[in-house]
A = this chain, B = another copy of it.
Amino acid sequence: MTAAHVHHPDLTRNQSLVYDVLNGSDAPLSAYSILDALRGEGFRAPLQVYRALEKLRAYGLVHRLESLNAFVACSHPDCAGHETAGFAICEKCGKVSEFAEERIAAPIRDWAKREGFVLAGSMIELRGLCRDCREG
Protein backbone atom coordinates (compact mmCIF):
# COMPACT_ATOMS: atom_id res chain seq x y z
CA MET A 1 0.00 0.00 0.00
CA THR A 2 1.41 3.37 -0.99
CA ALA A 3 0.70 5.99 1.61
CA ALA A 4 0.22 8.54 -1.15
CA HIS A 5 -3.00 6.96 -2.34
CA VAL A 6 -5.71 7.69 0.18
CA HIS A 7 -9.17 6.34 -0.58
CA HIS A 8 -11.29 7.76 2.19
CA PRO A 9 -10.71 10.14 5.08
CA ASP A 10 -11.21 7.56 7.81
CA LEU A 11 -10.14 4.20 6.43
CA THR A 12 -8.32 2.04 8.93
CA ARG A 13 -5.44 -0.14 7.91
CA ASN A 14 -7.60 -3.23 7.44
CA GLN A 15 -10.26 -1.33 5.54
CA SER A 16 -7.67 0.23 3.27
CA LEU A 17 -6.01 -3.09 2.54
CA VAL A 18 -9.32 -4.73 1.65
CA TYR A 19 -10.33 -1.81 -0.52
CA ASP A 20 -7.03 -1.87 -2.39
CA VAL A 21 -7.43 -5.56 -3.19
CA LEU A 22 -10.93 -5.03 -4.54
CA ASN A 23 -9.98 -1.91 -6.43
CA GLY A 24 -7.08 -3.69 -8.07
CA SER A 25 -9.16 -6.61 -9.28
CA ASP A 26 -10.97 -6.58 -12.60
CA ALA A 27 -13.53 -9.10 -11.38
CA PRO A 28 -15.55 -9.52 -8.19
CA LEU A 29 -13.82 -11.26 -5.30
CA SER A 30 -15.22 -13.42 -2.54
CA ALA A 31 -14.41 -12.56 1.05
CA TYR A 32 -12.21 -15.64 1.29
CA SER A 33 -10.31 -14.67 -1.85
CA ILE A 34 -9.62 -11.31 -0.28
CA LEU A 35 -8.50 -13.07 2.85
CA ASP A 36 -6.03 -15.18 0.90
CA ALA A 37 -4.75 -12.08 -0.88
CA LEU A 38 -4.02 -10.44 2.45
CA ARG A 39 -2.43 -13.27 4.39
CA GLY A 40 0.91 -11.68 3.61
CA GLU A 41 -0.31 -8.55 5.40
CA GLY A 42 -1.17 -10.53 8.49
CA PHE A 43 -4.80 -11.41 7.86
CA ARG A 44 -5.72 -14.75 9.38
CA ALA A 45 -9.51 -14.93 9.83
CA PRO A 46 -12.62 -14.24 7.71
CA LEU A 47 -13.96 -11.72 10.17
CA GLN A 48 -11.10 -9.37 9.50
CA VAL A 49 -12.32 -9.20 5.91
CA TYR A 50 -16.05 -9.16 6.62
CA ARG A 51 -15.73 -6.37 9.16
CA ALA A 52 -13.77 -4.23 6.75
CA LEU A 53 -16.25 -4.95 3.96
CA GLU A 54 -19.14 -3.96 6.19
CA LYS A 55 -17.63 -0.53 6.76
CA LEU A 56 -16.60 -0.05 3.16
CA ARG A 57 -20.14 -0.83 2.06
CA ALA A 58 -21.52 1.67 4.56
CA TYR A 59 -19.14 4.28 3.11
CA GLY A 60 -20.40 3.43 -0.39
CA LEU A 61 -16.96 2.37 -1.56
CA VAL A 62 -17.83 -1.29 -2.08
CA HIS A 63 -20.85 -3.21 -3.30
CA ARG A 64 -21.91 -6.77 -2.70
CA LEU A 65 -23.08 -8.86 -5.65
CA GLU A 66 -25.77 -11.02 -4.13
CA SER A 67 -25.95 -13.49 -6.97
CA LEU A 68 -22.22 -14.19 -6.77
CA ASN A 69 -21.57 -13.91 -3.04
CA ALA A 70 -18.79 -11.54 -4.01
CA PHE A 71 -17.73 -7.94 -3.69
CA VAL A 72 -16.58 -5.15 -6.02
CA ALA A 73 -15.18 -1.68 -5.54
CA CYS A 74 -17.60 1.01 -6.62
CA SER A 75 -16.74 2.30 -10.05
CA HIS A 76 -18.12 5.76 -9.50
CA PRO A 77 -16.09 8.69 -8.17
CA ASP A 78 -18.41 9.26 -5.23
CA CYS A 79 -20.79 6.40 -4.93
CA ALA A 80 -22.59 7.40 -1.79
CA GLY A 81 -25.17 9.21 -3.90
CA HIS A 82 -26.55 6.55 -6.18
CA GLU A 83 -29.16 4.59 -4.28
CA THR A 84 -30.26 2.32 -7.08
CA ALA A 85 -27.14 0.98 -8.74
CA GLY A 86 -27.21 -1.99 -11.01
CA PHE A 87 -24.62 -4.49 -12.19
CA ALA A 88 -24.20 -6.33 -15.46
CA ILE A 89 -22.23 -9.51 -14.90
CA CYS A 90 -20.56 -11.23 -17.84
CA GLU A 91 -20.93 -14.97 -17.53
CA LYS A 92 -17.92 -15.62 -19.73
CA CYS A 93 -15.16 -13.29 -18.54
CA GLY A 94 -16.57 -12.44 -15.14
CA LYS A 95 -16.29 -8.71 -15.51
CA VAL A 96 -18.91 -6.47 -13.99
CA SER A 97 -20.22 -3.15 -15.26
CA GLU A 98 -21.86 -0.90 -12.72
CA PHE A 99 -24.56 1.45 -13.91
CA ALA A 100 -26.79 4.03 -12.27
CA GLU A 101 -29.54 4.83 -14.71
CA GLU A 102 -32.33 7.10 -13.71
CA ARG A 103 -34.39 5.55 -16.49
CA ILE A 104 -34.23 2.27 -14.58
CA ALA A 105 -34.43 3.59 -11.06
CA ALA A 106 -37.44 5.86 -11.64
CA PRO A 107 -39.94 3.18 -12.69
CA ILE A 108 -38.90 1.09 -9.71
CA ARG A 109 -39.59 3.97 -7.34
CA ASP A 110 -42.89 4.49 -9.13
CA TRP A 111 -43.90 0.88 -8.68
CA ALA A 112 -43.06 1.03 -4.97
CA LYS A 113 -45.09 4.19 -4.56
CA ARG A 114 -48.10 2.70 -6.31
CA GLU A 115 -47.92 -0.43 -4.16
CA GLY A 116 -47.40 1.41 -0.91
CA PHE A 117 -44.03 -0.27 -0.49
CA VAL A 118 -41.51 1.81 1.48
CA LEU A 119 -38.35 1.31 -0.51
CA ALA A 120 -35.20 0.95 1.59
CA GLY A 121 -32.82 -0.50 -0.99
CA SER A 122 -32.68 -2.38 -4.22
CA MET A 123 -30.60 -5.00 -5.94
CA ILE A 124 -30.36 -5.16 -9.74
CA GLU A 125 -28.07 -7.74 -11.28
CA LEU A 126 -28.05 -8.65 -14.95
CA ARG A 127 -26.49 -11.80 -16.39
CA GLY A 128 -25.28 -12.25 -19.92
CA LEU A 129 -22.36 -11.57 -22.21
CA CYS A 130 -20.44 -8.33 -22.27
CA ARG A 131 -19.66 -6.57 -25.54
CA ASP A 132 -16.14 -7.98 -25.66
CA CYS A 133 -17.26 -11.55 -25.12
CA ARG A 134 -20.30 -11.74 -27.37
CA GLU A 135 -18.13 -11.58 -30.45
CA GLY A 136 -15.45 -14.05 -29.34
Contact = CB atoms under 8 A, between A and B. Distances in A.
Given A66-B125, A125-B66, A134 B118 contact: yes
A122 B117 CA distance: 21
A6 interface: no
Given A67-B66, A112-B88, A97 B123 contact: no
Contacts of A112: 88, 126, 128
B103 A126 contact: no
Nearest to A64: B67
Contacts of A117: 88, 90, 97, 126, 128-131, 134
A120 to B, nearest CB: 4
Contacts of A127: 119-123
A116 B125 CA distance: 16
Interface string A93-135: 0000101010110011011100111111111111111110010
A116 B126 CA distance: 13
Contacts of A103: 107, 110-111
Interface of A: 66-67, 86, 88, 90-91, 97, 99, 101, 103-104, 107-108, 110-112, 115-131, 134
